[in-house]
């Protein structure tokens, strides 16, 4: 089981992650070097209130209607939302957010491509006291895009800290390309990297954020997060973005989907749980 080891999250993180007022070029260059970067204060308080409002509506009105695979609840805390996919297909507000020019400008600079494709918006919750861990994986272990020119832009809705399940990336791991993945058996994160990486070669960095900050991580960057046993929730929205050159490996994607379907069927058989 991968755990976030707080003692390894060293002062390097703070100095690099707290750079203020960096240009888009500097942001892109930090991303290309490390496989992730944080941009502070991208969304204002007023915008966050709007996002919260639409999210509450989505949770109340839409999640009960979603089929397995589109929404996941915590195994140990029935009814507590863990993740939900493609929010943009259910509310034009999220479709607009998906196309946010502030995010697109940065992604365009990173991949040197004016024709960035913004895919779906995902909700990643980590409820106070019951948020479960996310196993170490690369997003491209699910997305299987070739060339691997893509990233997830994560909008922080709550403060994320080492106590409430902060997202952690392994610095430089995006340069390894797509690593072998194995089935994790965990609904919502059905795949994990088959072998752990050497933490000295690829140091763990906690992407601690304030509401309105946006973290960008490469689809080949190995990342994970710990449990949330604290009293504060850690909610985030992830927007998947690809360069216009990146195309899906359909055969590999079908294999992933088959594994996912088998997992859903076995969970349904065993528990009758919606997961």
Rule CB under 6 A: which residues touch ligand AKG? 124, 134, 139, 152, 154, 167, 223, 225, 236, 238
Distance CA 257, CA 242 (A): 20
* Least Cβ distance, residue 39 to ligand AKG (angstroms): 16
* Least Cβ distance, residue 208 to ligand AKG (angstroms): 13
- Residue (25 or 125) nearer to ligand AKG, CB: 125
Residue with tokens 């609904």: 187
* Least Cβ distance, residue 269 to ligand AKG (angstroms): 27
DSSP E strand boundaries for the chain: 36-39, 71-73, 81-84, 117-124, 134-137, 145-146, 150-156, 167-170, 181-186, 189-193, 204-206, 214-218, 223-225, 236-242, 247-248
Question: What are the phi and psi torsion angles at 80 (to 5°)?
Answer: -90, 120
Structure letter (DSSP) for residue 189: E
* Least Cβ distance, residue 49 to ligand AKG (angstroms): 22
- Residue (11 or 124) nearer to ligand AKG, CB: 124
Name 218's bridge partners: 151
- Residue (85 or 111) nearer to ligand AKG, CB: 85
- Residue (185 or 270) nearer to ligand AKG, CB: 185
Question: What are the phi and psi torsion angles at 108 (to 5°)?
Answer: -60, -40
- Residue (212 or 238) nearer to ligand AKG, CB: 238
CA 209 to the chain's CA centroid? 13
* Least Cβ distance, residue 192 to ligand AKG (angstroms): 11
């Amino acid at each position: 089981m991968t755990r976030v080891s707080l003692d390894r999250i060293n002062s390097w993180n703070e100095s690099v992650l707290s750079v203020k007022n960096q240009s888009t070029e500097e942001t892109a260059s930090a991303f290309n070097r490390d496989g992730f970067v944080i941009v502070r204060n991208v969304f204002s308080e007023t915008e966050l209130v709007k996002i919260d409002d639409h999210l509450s509506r989505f949770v109340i009105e839409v999640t009960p209607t979603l089929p397995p695979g589109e929404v996941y609840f915590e195994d140990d805390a029935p009814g507590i939302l863990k993740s939900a996919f493609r929010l943009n297909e259910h509310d034009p507000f999220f479709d607009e957010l998906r196309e946010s020019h502030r995010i697109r400008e940065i992604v365009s600079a990173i991949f040197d491509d004016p024709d960035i494709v913004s895919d779906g918006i995902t909700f990643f919750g980590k409820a106070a006291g019951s948020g479960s861990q996310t196993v170490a994986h690369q997003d491209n272990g699910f997305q299987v895009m070739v060339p691997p020119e893509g990233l997830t832009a994560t909008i922080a809705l709550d403060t994320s800290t080492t106590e409430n399940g902060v997202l952690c990336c392994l610095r430089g791991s995006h340069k390894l390309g797509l690593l072998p993945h194995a089935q994790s058996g965990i609904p919502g994160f059905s795949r994990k990297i088959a072998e752990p990486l050497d933490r000295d070669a690829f140091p763990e960095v906690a992407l601690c954020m304030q509401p309105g900050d946006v973290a960008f991580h490469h689809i080949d960057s190995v990342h994970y997060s710990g449990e949330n046993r604290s009293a504060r929730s850690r909610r985030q929205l992830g927007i998947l973005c690809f360069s216009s050159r990146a195309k899906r490996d359909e055969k590999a994607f079908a294999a992933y989907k088959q594994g996912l379907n088998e997992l859903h069927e076995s969970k349904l058989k065993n528990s009758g749980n919606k997961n």
